[in-house]
Chain A
Amino acid sequence: MKFDRPATTNPIDQLRVIGQPVDRVDGPLKTTGVARYAYEHHDAAPNAAYGYVVGSAIAKGRIASIDLAAVKAAPGVLAIVTAENAGTFGKGDRNTARLLGGPQIEHYHQAVALVVADSFEQARAAAELLRVNYAPETGAFDLNAVKGDAKPAKVMSDPGDTAVGDFASAFAAAPVKIDETYTTPDESHAMMEPHASIAAWDGDRLTLWTSNQMIAWGVGDLAKTLNMPKDNIRLLSPYIGGGFGSKLFLRTDAVLAALGARAAGRPVKVTLQRALLFNNTTHRPATIQRIRIGAAKDGKITAIGHESWSGDLPDGDPEAAVSQTRLLYAGPNRMTATRLAVLDLPEGNAMRAPGEASGMMALEVAIDEIAEKLGLDPVEFRIRNDTQTVPDVSAKPGDKAAPAMPFSQRQLVECFRTGAEKFGWSKRSARPGAVRDGRWLVGMGAAAAFRNNILTKSAARVRLEQDGKVVVETDMTDIGTGSYTIIAQTAAEMIGVPLQRVSVRLGDSRFPVSAGSGGQWGGNNSTAGVYAACVKLRDAIAGKIGFNSAEADFVDGSVRAGNRSVPLADAVRGGSLQAEDGIEYGDISKKAQQSTFGAHFVEVGVDAATAEIRVRRMLAVCAAGRILNPKTARSQVIGAMTMGVGAALMEELVVDDKIGFFVNHDLAGYEVPVHADIPHQDVIFLDETDPMSSPMKAKGVAELGICGVAGAVANAVYNATGIRVRDYPVTLEKLIDRMPPVG
């Protein structure tokens, strides 16, 4: 199905099932332990041996020699895979570093060997006997030190730099201005389920049970890495214990499980031990961001400039931290710039809302800083600088001469107004450090939330079985987001059956290729693909029983038109009916800018003595198209808000720039929020449908929820204490010297 014009009324608008806060259909499977995760397919591969990954002990250099003798002699060892003995293997299109290092080592904990044994304990014990002699080389590990060498870099398909009007003159002439530099640290996804895979060969055909957000990408890159045809690979990833972007790509576990199984001559399972997750996989790269904003006395932005520096391995990508600044606030004179330095740290890549999450951490503090200089309430300042058209026309190449591009929907102002009222923003003291509650200094902060909505094609297969069941098959993944549920709701709505009659099968490369899960594009696109397949199935059903599907209603297990009603069962008397189709987008995304908007409000307490910061309550107001399931959407947003608190207050992969690695590579050293850190969260979804987004009229929301949170927290800390911290995470040692005296 081609989607190239705004959606009109369609069966989804009935909202009998869609839009209802139904429980997750996969919930009971997960709470009872029935859902099998990547490492748990004992039934499918009952005799799997265990692989244990050995990570490089140096950050950069070469393996001079590697001694396998003691490992080979260890009890239970079946095979050892190293770059030396693995035969020719390549690298996936989406991988920057190779997934099995040697002789060249590109980063710390890059895999150098897989030890395969009968038991996990044997594999681990044997792995510890591996002797690798390294010839280390010096590397670059400190972003600040190499910032001057950073080069201009493109941001995905967009330009890295943009310019509109005359930023330099306008900024110089602005009566009120700020020029500040902010830093965000490297962060780890730190999801619950580590990367894990089981590989089984049948001749030259490979089956891989894994934990991967993007099935088709995984198949493609695995085929390329192993130099084999894609058709000979079956990849299954039905349940995923969190990804946040770390499982967008093929990783070490999958490649080494495949190589290990080939070497051992039997299925092999590999999970990355927790200590490897931080340096072996990808992470959100650190940024240095300079923001300059000039404003007129009336509180209107006249000049806004945002520059970002980040680092990555050679041929890597920058963090797209300036993207939102091209779209969020008005202002006639603008510039953005993206610079990328070479660092020999592990590979930087996507983590929940890549680009915006980091960029908003800086931008939304800068906005508060200029508002304060103007003597304006920071929420009022944001409202005053709203725009209903894309302010940075140069952000869209080729569109320079085009008339101003509208947003398909933009309710940023409504988000702020609603949130301010619900949160009690009017009670905020404009003077920082003025509110005290016992030992706590109390402050409120706000920030915009912003994240683009991405359209990408997605296909599905839908079948009406003779027993009345509707089966949906697509290679879409559910990374804990609720994909199973909203897909079931879509099919139930379209075919007119109760939710319980719909069976959804996901995460199998034998199913039609979907959008996959990432960039908050999964929900809208994958359900739109299911919608397309359901339209086709409705045609088939209607044809069987003599209806014109365009005029028929599919309701309560029947097809109805006029005064005629026929049970669905009549259509499948001769056998089940199946349809396959997908959604494909024309140039509709070029007709209007599709973005999602929100407003975050946070209240913090800062211990007056210790400067410990604790969040007291949070509110997010989101305008993100039709909310397909308010319950699963809310879960996504509160999870994202929690992650934002982590980014604001504690998450930091600490770089040891002598050794060249992230030091705190376990969950004791890399802290993420615990329940006690998150006492109260509210989410409000504004009523919105976006006919430009898809027949579902939905957009992404899962990443919107993190964008801006950290800025709101930092702004609240400032409001509580009068201390502005521009280097994340905002930890007590950055406040302690400026706190008021104790007592």
Chain B
Amino acid sequence: MKPFSYQRATSPAEAAAAAARVEGAKFVAGGTNLLDLMKLQIETPQHLIDVNGIGMDRIEPIPEGGLRVGALVRNTDLAADQRVRRDYAVLSRALLAGANQQLRNQATTAGNLLQRTRCPYFYDTNQPCNKRKPGSGCSAIGGYSRQLAVVGVSDACIATHPSDMAVAMRVLDAAVETVGADGGTRSIPIADFHRLPGDTPQIETTLRPGELITAVTLPKPVGGTHLYRKVRDRASFAFALISVAAIVQRDGSGRVALGGVAHKPWRVEAAEQELPRGAKAVASKLLANATPTDHNAYKLPLVERTLGSVLAEAKG
């Protein structure tokens, strides 16, 4: 860990302004990911801006009929919220499938969206990694890639995004609200929030320098059956090999997003047109341009089979 300076923010706008002002600054909220990465010298911020204690910790209804989830709402509280459990059950289920109780007590909504990958080579600073050290190369390509991405990959990076929550938010068409360094606010559709790796895998979101997430809004409830199925080697406290978030309506229409297959929560709206034709049709559209490795080719049949199981469960 490199020595760093630290400040407590007094307001979201002030935090964003400070982040733009100080080079190498990072926000810290729950710290469940950032502090680990700092100890391993994977993240080396010069300056930490602690955004705890400046509000942004409520879940409130919005006039259009959805919910506004403050950036600092803890994962435990979000998963347990009665409105979330009733109207956005896929989100509650995804949250509870992630991490463990202690981590969920600490981890925040915004922090969860900004988790870094769990690619093992990203975690070993002796090894080349374009995400950790741009231009150094990718050890995972041709290395151990069982957990890694099968769609949307690039020659620079095949890492996955590890969040469960983000997959549910993607299927819910959530939007990320921010405040910028200039005090301006904007709302970023979750679909546009995470990026594919391309040539710049170190840039993982469309946030601008200094821009601070203030909330995530969930649009008006869409009804349907909400399911989240996370497939993993052990029963708890493991990252997804793949996961499926689904909202299925009585008429068989619905939405589907995948976790554990790409650099971002993976949703292909066109694939959802295939839902009446079943899992095989949906999966083949979702994974149309998949380029798996020998180690992770199993994810393709696994997605299709898990999707089949989820759709069967939704039918009841």
A residues neighboring B (CB under 8 Å): 57, 121, 124-125, 128, 275, 439, 607-612, 614, 649-650, 654, 656, 658-659, 663-666, 668-669, 671, 673-677, 731-733, 736-737, 739, 742-743
Kindly identify which residue among B123, B143, B229, B279 contacts A659, using a CB–CB cutoff of 8 Å: B143
Contact A609 B305 (CB under 8 A): yes
Contacts of B123 in A (CB 8 A): 275, 666, 669
In the complex the two chains form, is A610's CB within 8 Å of B231's CB?
Answer: yes
- Is the beta-carbon distance between B298 and A733 smaller than 8 angstroms? yes
Chain B residues near A742: list those with CB within 8 A.
Answer: 279, 304-305, 308-309, 312
A124 touches B1 (CB 8 A): yes
Please give me the residue from chain A that is nearest to B242 by CB atom: A610
Q: Is B199 an interface residue (CB 8 A)?
A: no
Question: Within the complex, what minimum Cβ distance (angstroms) separates B261 from chain A?
Answer: 14
Checking A608, A609, A654, A671 against B234 with a beta-carbon cut-off of 8 angstroms, the contacting residue is A671
Contact yes or no, A674 B237, CB < 8 A: yes
Closest partner residue, chain A, to B244 (CB atom): A610
| Residue contact B308 to A663, C-beta cutoff 8 Å | no
Chain B residue nearest to A58 in the complex (CB): B126
B241 an interface residue at 8 Å Cβ cutoff? yes
A residues in contact with B143, CB < 8 Å: 656, 658-659, 663
* Cα separation A674 to B229 with both chains bound (whole Å): 19
Query: Distance in Å from the Cβ of A30 to the closest Cβ of chain B?
Result: 20
Smallest Cβ distance from B150 to chain A, in angstroms? Answer: 12
A732 x B231 contact (CB < 8 A)? yes
In the assembled complex, the Cα of A639 lies from the Cα of B211 at a distance in Å of 49
Q: A669-B123, A674-B235, A742-B305 are in contact. List 12 more A-B contacts (CB 8 A).
A: A275-B40, A610-B231, A610-B306, A611-B302, A656-B139, A658-B143, A665-B124, A676-B234, A677-B234, A732-B302, A736-B298, A742-B279
Interface residue? B88 (CB, 8 A):
no
C-alpha spacing A659/B79, complex, angstroms: 41
B32 at interface by CB-CB < 8 Å: no
Of the candidates B1, B142, B236, the one whose C-beta lies within 8 Å of that of A676 is B236
A669:B234 contact, CB within 8 angstroms: no
CA distance A608 to B279 in the complex (A): 15
In whole angstroms, what is the CA distance A663 to B127 when docked?
10
When the two chains form their complex, are residues A731 and B306 in contact, meaning their CB atoms are under 8 A apart?
A: no
Whether A671 pairs with B238 at a CB distance below 8 angstroms is: yes
Least Cβ distance of A384 to chain B in Å? 36
Contact of B127 among A124, A654, A659, A737 (CB under 8 A): A659
Residue among A124, A609, A665, A666 having the largest count of chain B Cβ atoms under 10 Å: A609
Q: Are B233 and A649 in contact (CB under 8 A)?
A: yes
**Across-interface contacts of B144 in A (CB, < 8 A):** 654, 656, 663-664
CB distance from A136 to the nearest CB of B (A): 12
The count of residues in chain B whose C-beta lies closer than 8 Å to any C-beta of chain A is: 39
Shortest B112–chain A CB gap in Å is 16
B74 CB to nearest A CB, Å: 21
Cα–Cα, bound, A673→B241 (Å): 16
Give residues 116-137 of B contacting A (CB, 8 Å).
Answer: 118, 120-121, 123-124, 126-127
Distance of A609 Cα from B311 Cα, bound (Å): 11
Instruction: Determine the distance from Cα of A609 to Cα of B230 in the docked complex, in whole angstroms.
Output: 12
The list of the 10 closest CB pairs from A to B, nearest first, reads: A609-B309, A733-B298, A676-B235, A742-B308, A57-B126, A676-B236, A663-B144, A609-B305, A610-B231, A650-B233
B241 CB contacts on chain A under 8 angstroms: 732
- Report the nearest B residue to A678, measured CB to CB: B235
Question: What is the predominant secondary structure among interface residues of chain B facing chain A?
Answer: loop
Cβ of B239 < 8 Å from any Cβ of A? Answer: yes
Q: With CB as the reference atom, state the residue of chain B lying closest to A679.
A: B235
Q: How far is the CA of A612 from the CA of B232 in the complex (A)?
A: 7
Q: Does B301 sit at the interface, judged by CB under 8 A?
A: yes
The answer on a CB contact under 8 Å between A736 and B40 is no
In the assembled complex, the CB of B138 is this many whole angstroms from the nearest CB of chain A, namely 12
B316 contacts across to A, CB distance below 8 A: none
Query: Which residue on chain A has the smallest CB distance to residue B231?
Result: A610
| A674–B121 CB distance below 8 A | no
Asked if residues A610 and B305 are in contact (CB atoms below 8 Å), the reply is: yes
Cβ of B231 and Cβ of A659 under 8 Å apart?
Answer: no
B301→A649 contact, CB < 8 A: no
Q: Is B21 an interface residue (CB 8 A)?
A: no
Contacts of A731 in B (CB 8 A): 233
Q: Are A743 and B1 in contact (CB under 8 A)?
A: no
Chain B residues near A439: list those with CB within 8 A.
Answer: 309
Tell me the minimal C-beta distance from A441 to chain B in angstroms.
13
Residues A128 and B41 in contact, CB atoms below 8 Å apart = yes
A108 CB to closest chain B CB, in angstroms?
8
5 contacts between A and B (CB under 8 A): A57-B126, A656-B143, A671-B234, A675-B236, A736-B302
Which one of B118, B124, B142, B236 lies within 8 Å of A658 (CB-CB)?
B142
CB-CB under 8 A from A664, the residues of chain B are 120, 144
**B36, chain A: closest CB distance, angstroms:** 9
- Among B139, B229, B233, B306, chain A packs the most CB atoms within 10 A around the CB of B233
- Assess whether B184 is interfacial by the CB under 8 Å rule: no
User: Does B2 have its Cβ within 8 Å of any Cβ on chain A?
Assistant: yes
CA distance in complex: A415, B123 (Å): 46
Residue among A275, A669, A733 having the largest count of chain B Cβ atoms under 10 Å: A733
B39 cross-chain contacts in A, Cβ below 8 A = 124
Specify the chain B residue showing the minimal Cβ separation from A650: B233
Q: Which of B284-316 contact A (CB under 8 A)?
A: 298, 301-302, 304-306, 308-309, 312
Q: Which residues of A contact B120 (CB under 8 A)?
A: 663-665, 669
Knowing A610-B302, A659-B127, A742-B279, the reply to whether A674 touches B236 (Cβ < 8 A) is yes
The residue of chain B having its C-beta at the shortest distance from the C-beta of A439 within the complex is B309
Residues of A within 8 A of B40 (CB): 275
Query: Which one of B39, B121, B123, B239 has the greatest number of beta carbons of chain A within 10 Å?
Result: B123
**B3 within 8 Å of A (CB atoms):** yes
Report the bound CA distance from A607 to B127 in whole Å. Answer: 36
Given contacts A659-B143, A663-B121, A665-B124, whether A736 and B235 have CB atoms under 8 Å apart is: no
How far does the alpha carbon of A691 sit from the alpha carbon of B237 in the complex, in Å?
46
Q: Is the beta-carbon distance between B233 and A659 smaller than 8 angstroms?
A: no
Q: Find residues 70-84 in chain B having any chain A CB closer than 8 Å to their own CB.
A: none
Whether A736 lies near B233 (C-beta < 8 A) is no
A742 to B301, CA, bound (A): 11
